[in-house]
């Protein structure tokens, strides 16, 4: 008989002992996955109404610390936002909510990617700024619970992961639209191992899921003056799923004749990002989930490291903003958390402000981050005591943001 059992310390992984009735029970297992995904696709196909957060007042912003260095950098971002949004908070237009409990310890204790009480508090907010969370990996000897990020993206259908990367002195201005709820991440916890023989994971890409992320990428390009959208794929090898993604891409591209649409395979695209002769030619990218995760980390490293890059996770009813890097538990173990770079989460906070209608404040934060990290560099974070603390960098950034000559200083650097 086909038997499923959880391996100690590897919750979610299915081990199948190959005995009798293999075909019937494997077929039933796969059928359940297909039915589940058909229901999901049906639901997202009918979800076409988006909340306009620029017009929603009051708007509730949640602050979720996460674990590792997460609480430290989120607190710094919150402190800066409290200062910059002081008038809006006093008027009651903006409400801050602290949400605690999304720690690895709580998640392991309850064997859930997000504890129920934390999930309900997040649900009470409209948007939330989330710190990094640790995801155990197979073989670590602790329960291999699902990623909190993956769970939240699926729970709130945050289908668009938007990651900007800019290197001003190299004329790099990229924005990545990474599909956020499908691909290997959608069914990553449902893979099966045939005992001591082989393992299978499932990859899913739907027409509806592809259509909405690709449409968003083209609309963004159209509305922000970009002239090129590039689809990243591996459709020459992964013919079915990436084939669907690429087919939808060119169907939608026909509606935007003024925008150049092209596609590149993921392997050569990783090379082109470090090709100094060609990389500044690219503008907007749209990618399936896994490729987007990998390529945006490479792009962030070109910008100055994953510690400098923020991201938005956009759905029709909720939005989550976060750093793209991990929780750096080693920094906490070595008592270096006070030297963590808050740039990434502050960039995410800027993206959140722009999304909810405070574009002028967001612009000042972005300019200050560019001046601080790419040009002036008067206060430098190293992650150790030979560099600035998180608070010292935050104070430096604030001094730039409130400087009435910030824009003038920014233009001087740009034109130098």
Q: Please tell me the predicted confidence (pLDDT) of residue 251.
A: 98
User: Which segments within 100-180 are labelled E, that is strand?
Assistant: 127-130, 160-167, 172-179
Return all residues near 8 (Cβ < 8 A) that are at least 6 apart. none
Angle between helices 70-84 and 343-355 (to 10 degrees): 50
Return all residues near 309 (Cβ < 8 A) that are at least 6 apart. 163, 164, 165, 296, 299, 300, 303, 323, 324, 325, 344, 347
Q: CB 332: neighbour CB atoms within 10 A?
A: 17
DSSP state of 204: B
| Dihedral Cα 159, 162, 163, 164, nearest 10 deg | 170
Asked if residues 160 and 211 have their Cβ atoms less than 8 Å apart, the reply is no
For the entire predicted model, the pTM comes to: 0.89
**Domains, the chain:** 47-158+315-416 (3.40.718.10)
Residue 170 CA to chain centroid, in angstroms?
24
The span from the CA of 234 to the CA of 410, in Å, is 40
Q: Please tell me the predicted confidence (pLDDT) of residue 398.
A: 97
Locate 340 and state its tokens. 């963590």
Asked if residues 106 and 69 have their Cβ atoms less than 8 Å apart, the reply is no
Q: Please tell me the predicted confidence (pLDDT) of residue 13.
A: 56
Instruction: Look at strands 284-287 and 260-265 and give their pairing.
Output: unpaired
Q: Please tell me the predicted confidence (pLDDT) of residue 3.
A: 37
Asked if residues 160 and 314 have their Cβ atoms less than 8 Å apart, the reply is yes
| Tens digit of each residue's pLDDT, the chain (416 residues) | 233 333 333 445 566 666 667 777 788 888 999 999 999 999 999 988 899 999 999 999 999 999 999 999 999 999 999 999 999 999 999 999 999 999 999 999 999 999 999 999 999 999 999 999 998 876 566 777 888 998 999 899 999 999 999 998 899 999 999 999 999 988 877 888 877 788 888 999 999 999 999 999 999 999 999 999 999 999 999 999 999 999 999 999 999 999 999 999 999 999 999 999 999 999 999 999 999 999 999 999 999 888 888 999 999 999 999 998 889 999 999 999 999 999 999 999 999 999 999 999 999 999 999 999 989 999 999 999 999 999 999 999 999 999 999 999 999 888 87
Q: Please tell me the predicted confidence (pLDDT) of residue 207.
A: 97
Q: Please tell me the predicted confidence (pLDDT) of residue 26.
A: 80
The span from the CA of 294 to the CA of 272, in Å, is 14
Q: CB 238: neighbour CB atoms within 10 A?
A: 15
């Amino acid at each position: 008989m086909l038997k499923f059992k959880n391996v100690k310390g590897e919750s979610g992984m299915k081990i199948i002992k190959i005995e009798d009735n293999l075909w019937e029970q494997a077929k039933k297992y796969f059928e359940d996955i297909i039915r589940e995904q058909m229901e999901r696709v049906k639901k997202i196909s009918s979800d076409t109404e988006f909340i306009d957060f620029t017009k929603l007042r009051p708007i509730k912003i949640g602050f979720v610390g996460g674990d590792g260095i997460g609480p430290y950098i989120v607190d710094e971002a919150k402190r800066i936002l409290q200062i910059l949004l002081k008038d809006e908070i006093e008027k009651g237009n903006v409400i801050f909510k602290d949400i605690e409990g999304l720690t690895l310890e709580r998640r392991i204790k309850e064997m859930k990617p997000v504890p129920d009480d934390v999930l309900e508090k997040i649900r009470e907010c409209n948007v939330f700024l989330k710190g990094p969370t640790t995801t155990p990996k197979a073989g670590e000897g602790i329960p291999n619970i699902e990623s909190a990020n993956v769970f939240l993206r699926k729970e709130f259908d945050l289908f668009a992961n938007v990651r900007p990367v800019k290197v001003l002195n190299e004329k790099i201005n990229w924005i990545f639209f990474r599909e956020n709820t499908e691909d290997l991440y959608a069914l990553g916890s449902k893979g099966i191992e045939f005992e001591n023989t082989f393992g299978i994971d499932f990859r899913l890409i739907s027409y509806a899921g592809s259509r909405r992320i690709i449409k968003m990428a083209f609309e963004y390009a159209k509305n922000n003056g970009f002239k090129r959208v590039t689809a990243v794929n591996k459709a020459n090898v992964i013919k079915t799923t990436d084939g669907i993604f690429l087919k939808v891409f060119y169907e939608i591209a026909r509606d935007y004749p003024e925008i150049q649409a092209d596609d590149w395979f993921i392997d050569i695209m990783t090379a082109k990002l470090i090709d100094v002769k060609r990389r500044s030619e690219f503008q907007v990218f749209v990618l399936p989930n896994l490729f987007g995760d990998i390529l945006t980390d490479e792009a962030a490293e070109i910008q100055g490291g994953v510690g400098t890059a923020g991201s938005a996770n956009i759905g029709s009813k909720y939005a989550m903003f976060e750093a793209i890097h991990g929780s750096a538990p080693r920094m906490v173990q070595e008592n270096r958390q006070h030297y963590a770079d808050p740039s990434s989460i502050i960039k995410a906070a800027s993206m959140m402000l722009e999304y909810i209608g405070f574009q002028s404040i967001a612009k000042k934060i972005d300019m200050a981050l560019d001046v601080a990290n790419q040009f002036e560099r008067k206060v430098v974070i190293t992650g150790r005591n030979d560099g600035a603390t998180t608070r010292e960098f935050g104070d430096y950034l604030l001094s730039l943001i409130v400087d009435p000559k910030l824009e003038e200083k920014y233009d001087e650097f740009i034109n130098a």
